[in-house]
Structure 1
Amino acid sequence: MARMIGVIGGSGLYEVEGLEGAAWREVETPWGAPSDAILTGRLDGVDIAFLPRHGRGHPLDPASIPYRANIAALKTLGVTDVISVSAVGSFREAMAPGDFVVVDQFIDRTATRAASFFGPGCVAHVSLAHPTCARLADAAEAAASAAGATVHRGGTYLAMEGPQFSTLAESRMYREVWGADVIGMTNMPEARLAREAELCYVTVAMVTDYDSWHPDHGEVEITQILATAGANADKARAMIRALPGLLSGPEAPCPGGCDRALEHAILTAPAARDPQMVDRLKTIAGRVL
């Protein structure tokens, strides 16, 4: 079985050009419809599925994104590797606007979003100690560098609820006390759900601003973010074009075990499982159910 690359595009990235046989496909899941139709096609002989996280035209705010449907839809199409591209603010002087950060850790401050496919009737606990895939991170770093971006390997992403930006006190706490490197509103629970769906996942964070902590840059302004996000999107498209050459070939077991995350995660005994819940879960957990 060949690998299939899924790309989730954040603010400023709503489409990918140059796909052979490109078509927008409507996908329905047990958790409803995803944020938008999914653009599928081939790039250098590799199958690609692109999903605009906020929908084309950006109609969805971070809290209203159907995260479970998005991940389930990619899984349904056969995606094996998910590259999540996201606009972020930076807490580090060295991670400047225009730079890319290949994230490897998260702090989750979201509170209103469904964070799991599992629940009453079928309980599971996956490991999130290392929430991103090192193999995918290698490819993303190389592809972003080839696209001309300044790339930082490793960083902690603080996921906030939004839709407002941080207060100055919050920004200082996240940076100085909690040690976060970048801040965004969308990669949680996305990363959690990708792990439950046994998908390899990595975040490429595109820095647009310094949040509100930086004494020389002032508070975050949406006009500034949009201008930088537009320039970042061009580099992100170039990064995507470089990915097939780094992720082609037959599917092989993930060295980090992302594709086997549910191996020992389901605790509910078969006789005690809710049949309706199990039927829904087959979309993302059919391998173990």
Structure 2
Amino acid sequence: MSKLAIIGGTGLSKLVNLERVRKRVVKTPYGEPSSPITFGELNGVDIVFMARHGYGHNIPPHRINYRANMWALKEVGVTDVVAIAAVGGINRSMPPASLVLPDQLIDYTWGRASTYFEDDLEHVTHIDFTTPYSVELRKKIKRAMYKAEIAVFDKAVYACMQGPRLETAAEIIKLERDGCDLVGMTGMPEAALARELALNYACCALVVNWAAGLEGGEISMRDIEGHAEAGMIKVEHLLKVLVYEMKVDE
């Protein structure tokens, strides 16, 4: 039986409609996770929730302890992870408030602890990362999007930048030339660590702004917050449908 975890990013520090809530602090060999793990019921289904930036949203992307986060989820029996992420839109067909299921990513980050396979190894270990997101979990999310009557964008390349600053207009031009459709700051090493732990992992990206330079002028944090708030209504609706569909499949 699968056990679903939802990782909440910017705009989703908690699930409003989560019931029968209890929290547990999980210690890991890699230090403290971003937050205690929350157990509860969503639409009558048991799930696990973690706040990627902490419940006070005070951990910047480059300081998140990704290894501890993913290890803690594995430790409590999670098998499937849906990672909610706020992103900037590069592809003009994916406007703010869109939900996007990226199928590929490019990692532009640096200096982050990005693997479990580095110390005291019996042999060097490589993971296949040709397809960085779980094909089967993406299918389930896509089906739930259709049932929730949410527009489906399921072909996109996610560019993971270092942060915490936003990008320059020239960087976005480069990312577009590289074939990127979305730009965020938390997609890696989260996805790779999930693969190393044999977790089924998929990203559900919420576009909260046009990327730098596409609209002219500065990016407004007020606009980002507004799009995030509107988009999270879709996210919560999607998750309710998803957990029910996954329960039915079992």
TM-score range, shorter chain: over 0.9
- Alignment of 1:163 with 2:164, yes or no, is yes
1:201 counterpart residue number: 201
Gaps of 5+ in 1: 252-289
Deviations 1:60-83 (A, max 9, x none): 000111100110011011110000
CA distance in 2, matches of 1:148, 1:55: 31
1:1-289 maps to which residues of 2 (within 5 A)? 2-122=1-121, 123-175=124-176, 177-214=177-214, 216-248=215-247
CA distance in 1, matches of 2:199, 2:21: 23
Deviations 1:179-228 (A, max 9, x none): 100000001000000000100000011001111131x4533222211111
Q: Which amino acid aligns with 1:40?
A: F
CA distance in 1, matches of 2:17, 2:231: 18
Q: 1:18 Cα shift?
A: 3.2
TM (norm. structure 2) is 0.94
Identity %: 38
1:284 counterpart residue number: none
- 2:188 alignment partner, SS class: helix
- Would you say how many aligned residue pairs link Structure 1 and Structure 2? 248
Deviations 1:167-188 (A, max 9, x none): 111111101x201000000010
CA distance in 1, matches of 2:149, 2:20: 27
Shift of the 197–171 alpha-carbon distance from structure 1 to 2, 3 Å rule, reads: same
Which deviates more, 144-153 or 61-70?
144-153
CA distance in 1, matches of 2:113, 2:245: 33
Whether the 8 Å contact between 1:30 and 1:69 is mirrored in structure 2 is yes
Which deviates more, 126-135 or 38-47?
38-47
CA distance in 2, matches of 1:146, 1:33: 37
- 1:69 alignment partner, SS class: helix
CA distance in 1, matches of 2:211, 2:55: 25
TM (norm. structure 1) is 0.82
Q: 1:33 Cα shift?
A: 1.6
CA distance in 1, matches of 2:134, 2:128: 13
Shift of the 36–203 alpha-carbon distance from structure 1 to 2, 3 Å rule, reads: same
Deviations 1:22-77 (A, max 9, x none): 11221111111210111112334532001010011211000111100110011011
Kindly report structure 1 stretches of 4+ aligned residues shifted beyond 6 Å: none
CA distance in 2, matches of 1:120, 1:108: 23
Q: Which amino acid aligns with 1:57?
A: G
CA distance in 1, matches of 2:71, 2:205: 22
